[in-house]
Structure 1
Amino acid sequence: MSDRTGWPAVRPWVADLAGAGLCFAVSSPVVVIIAYYHRAPAAGYFAGLALACLPLLVRSRWPFQVVAATLAANAAQLALLSFPGPSPAATGVALYTVAVRTERRTAWRIGAASAALLFAVSVIRRPGPDSLWQYLAVLAGMGLAVASGDAVRSSRRLLAAAVERADRAEHTREAEARRRVTEERLRIARELHDVVAHHITLVNAQAGVAHHLMRSDPDHAYQALERIRDTSRAALDELRTTVGLLRHGESPDAPREPAPGLAGLDALLASFRHSGLDITLERTGHPTEPASITDLAAYRIIQEALTNTRKHAGPVPARVHLDYRPDVLRLTVEDDGRAGTGTQGGPGSGTGHGMIGMYERAKAARGTLTAGPHPAGGFRIHAELPLHTGRKG
């Protein structure tokens, strides 16, 4: 078992027991030396050391109270014995624990007060310069204990903050990956919808013409069947290209064909005219080559708008207007469908994926799109797309 920083997790009582035992073991040689130097029984010194280390068994649970208990034991030994008592290591361990578990200012205040008390008791009990180095050593030991605890606390916080940032970065990467997958799925869905809906609508319209003329005008019916063949072939080619790109990904051998754009607008409008739409195209301003994302978005918006016109309003007059401004392409598609003939996006007119796709394409190109019926009938779609990437009209 380990904590978030990777260090093994240790139960608090185990750490307390280990700390108390280590303090007693480290201080025992000092007790032996002091007892030998003063030619006194070592048992009393060991008893005093054990008494000072005993509170350390609960230092994780009550750190401030343990500081007070160890400080009282060490101060009493210094005051009551005629010679230096056991090392105040227990107070140092308690101060280290407080420094690890509390704020820096509080730890240093408690450490300074503890060191001042031990120093004052020592000076009062044994005044004179002979033992000054011992008193300074006590001050240095208390300061070292607080500084060590403060350093450990700071390093743990830094490590915990680093682990938290790493976790947050990992979650962000996962969220970003999911977002990109979702965007890619939407992009693929838009492409497939535009390709399939456009060609199937034309095939359906041309099949209706062929069925209507099969007996009365076989020649024209034959021409309609030829257009069905050409339209279905074009649909298969576009689907093959799209699926090929998905299958091969970024492979250099992947089939790559130019994405449709306004350069192919005349052919697109011709396919709709063959299905019965009377389409008028008007270009104003100074035509210029737009950015690739704008070029594709404009083409697909016109394609979807006219597909909806043919599907929902039938063979009615329609107008496409491209207005080239210095930074913006204004695109308008209108039809003369009448109330009751089924307009784009009307009740029962479909799933609405086509309209959603047009809005998403305009947004992806950093443009805007509005759509709605005319009061007298018909439908109008208007989009404003930036001609250059990074700029929005």
Structure 2
Amino acid sequence: MSRTLSRARCHVVAHPLALDAVLAVGVLVCMVGATFVDAHNQDLHGGSTVTWAVRTPNPLALVLIVLGAAALVFRRRAPRTVLALTGTVALIESVVGDPRAPVAMSAVIALYTVAATTDRVTTVRLGLLTMTVLTGASMLAGPLPWYAQENLAIFAWTGIGATAGDAVRSRRAVVQAIRERAERAERTREEEALRRVAEERLRIARDLHDVVAHHIALVNVQAGVAAHVMDKRPDQAKEALAHVREAGRSALSELRATVGLLRQSGDPEAPTEPAPGLDRLDELVGTFRSAGLRVETARADQDTTLPAAVDLAAYRVIQEALTNVQKHAGSGATAEVSVVRVGPDIEVTVLDDGSGDRVVPDSGGHGLLGMRERVTALRGTLTTGPRYGGGYRVHAILPVTTRTAARGEPV
């Protein structure tokens, strides 16, 4: 049953002219039937009853009824024109025709259509005009007394038509507003979801770059050392290969921890490690020292407990900066790492004394871009650039209290 009704509704929406034609035929049948029926009162022994009889209608009334009903076929295409035509037909009938013929029925439906398709101000104006003209003409120029019920019926039905049309229009506007609000909310949710996905992809790409670039750089250096001394100094070659294996194991562990974040809540659990922080700074520096880079460290952070996001960002800044020193500063370079607590901030500085035709890592790489994104996300500042006299400087200022931690939420 519901499927049949849905199919019928779709057919009506697709063919509105057919619906208006059916409506016009129905109105025509009602008006013609009303013209042939005569209802009058008879008093019998002091009582009042209503008797019905068949009467011969006025030919002019039949012509006006047909014209008014035919005009309703086009009520959606030209509602105001149809109202003017049906109102004129009803006016003629009320003045010179048979006032009992319900020609005004077509004008009422036309007024309803205008009210349902226009604004309230237009409805009030056209409704008052239609009510005044038709009711006034029938009262003042019609053949019936001014107080006849037919005259009052014209006033009442025109008012009902305008009110019903305005109510339908208001309901349609409310439904449309609700639908638009729902669609806008859906679009907002989709945009928010896409934004979060983009941010998460950027964060994962940044983490993967930091992990892979650091360990692959160490593997490359150690592999080169092993290849260089393989024939003459096999013991040193074995040591270099051991460092290669250790760097590969560390890279796999960090990759496993990073990729593990992509699992859904229902996926099997995978072994993960805590996000690295400054508590692993000595271990990080040791991997570079084993690769032949001279690194000096200095800490004056008074064992400050950092939020996880700040701790990870500081670690990644040092890791990426030392990786760039290893790759770009040339052989024999020395790096200096310092971590200092200054007021409400933690300052991380990485210096090197590399010389020669050094390639500045700002050109085309993603390392410094990733560092800057990490620091900026925490409302910190990052300064990078060549040092006077040679070398390079990376300086990051990170607030110890992030926006999330300030609200008492876990970072």
Shift, 1:251, TM fit: 3.8
Shift, 1:259, TM fit: 0.9
CA gap of 1:328–1:19, structure 2 versus 1, over 3 A, is: farther
Q: Does the aligned pair in 2 maintain the 1:309–1:343 contact within 8 Å?
A: no
Secondary structure at the aligned position of 2:316 is classed as: helix
1:114-125 equivalence runs, <5 A: 114-124=130-140, 125=142
Equivalent residue in structure 2 for 1:387, among 378, 396, 400: 400
Shift, 1:40, TM fit: 3.8
Shift, 1:13, TM fit: 2.2
* Aligned pairs, number: 385
Shift, 1:382, TM fit: 1.9
Equivalent residue in structure 2 for 1:75, among 91, 103, 116: 91
Q: Percent identity?
A: 42
**Whole-angstrom CA distance in 2 between matches of 1:317 and 1:340:** 16
1:88 lines up with 2:104 in the alignment: yes
Superposed CA RMSD in Å reads: 2.9
**Whole-angstrom CA distance in 2 between matches of 1:310 and 1:19:** 86
Aligned to 2:286: 270
Aligned to 2:214: 198
CA gap of 1:189–1:220, structure 2 versus 1, over 3 A, is: same
Aligned to 2:48: none
Please identify, of 103-112 and 187-196, the stretch whose mean Cα deviation from structure 2 is larger. 187-196
Q: Deviations along 1:316-367, whole A, 9 cap, x unmatched?
A: 1112222223432222222111241334335xxxx50212221222233333
Q: Does the aligned pair in 1 maintain the 2:307–2:405 contact within 8 Å?
A: no
Q: Does the aligned pair in 2 maintain the 1:92–1:142 contact within 8 Å?
A: yes
1:31-50 equivalence runs, <5 A: 31-34=35-38, 40-42=55-57, 44=59, 45-50=61-66
Alignment gaps of 5+ in structure 2: 1-5, 41-51, 407-411
CA gap of 1:108–1:316, structure 2 versus 1, over 3 A, is: same
**Whole-angstrom CA distance in 1 between matches of 2:21 and 2:220:** 85
CA gap of 1:52–1:236, structure 2 versus 1, over 3 A, is: closer
Aligned to 2:338: 321
1:17 lines up with 2:8 in the alignment: no
Please identify, of 95-104 and 202-211, the stretch whose mean Cα deviation from structure 2 is larger. 202-211
Shift, 1:79, TM fit: 0.6
Q: Does the aligned pair in 2 maintain the 1:366–1:392 contact within 8 Å?
A: no
CA gap of 1:323–1:25, structure 2 versus 1, over 3 A, is: farther
Shift, 1:106, TM fit: 0.6
Aligned to 2:200: 184
1:358 lines up with 2:358 in the alignment: no
1:288 lines up with 2:292 in the alignment: no
1:370 lines up with 2:386 in the alignment: no
Shift, 1:6, TM fit: 8.4
Aligned to 2:49: none
**Whole-angstrom CA distance in 2 between matches of 1:91 and 1:66:** 8
Shift, 1:38, TM fit: 8.2
Q: Deviations along 1:16-42, whole A, 9 cap, x unmatched?
A: 313322322333443232489686413
Secondary structure at the aligned position of 2:13 is classed as: coil
Code of the residue aligned with 1:72 in structure 2: it is T
Aligned to 2:186: 170
**Whole-angstrom CA distance in 2 between matches of 1:264 and 1:62:** 80
Aligned to 1:330: 347
CA gap of 1:30–1:375, structure 2 versus 1, over 3 A, is: farther
CA gap of 1:46–1:204, structure 2 versus 1, over 3 A, is: same
Q: Does the aligned pair in 2 maintain the 1:337–1:343 contact within 8 Å?
A: no
Please identify, of 337-346 and 327-336, the stretch whose mean Cα deviation from structure 2 is larger. 337-346
**Whole-angstrom CA distance in 2 between matches of 1:85 and 1:248:** 75
Alignment gaps of 5+ in structure 1: none
Code of the residue aligned with 1:380 in structure 2: it is R
Shift, 1:173, TM fit: 3.0
Give the alignment's TM-score, normalised by structure 2. Answer: 0.84
Higher relative CO (Cα under 8 Å, sequence separation at least 6) belongs to 1
Code of the residue aligned with 1:325 in structure 2: it is V
Shift, 1:95, TM fit: 0.6
**Whole-angstrom CA distance in 2 between matches of 1:148 and 1:51:** 24
Shift, 1:84, TM fit: 2.7
Shift, 1:139, TM fit: 1.7
Q: Deviations along 1:38-62, whole A, 9 cap, x unmatched?
A: 8641363443321222221222222
Secondary structure at the aligned position of 1:283 is classed as: strand
CA gap of 1:325–1:26, structure 2 versus 1, over 3 A, is: farther
Shift, 1:77, TM fit: 0.8
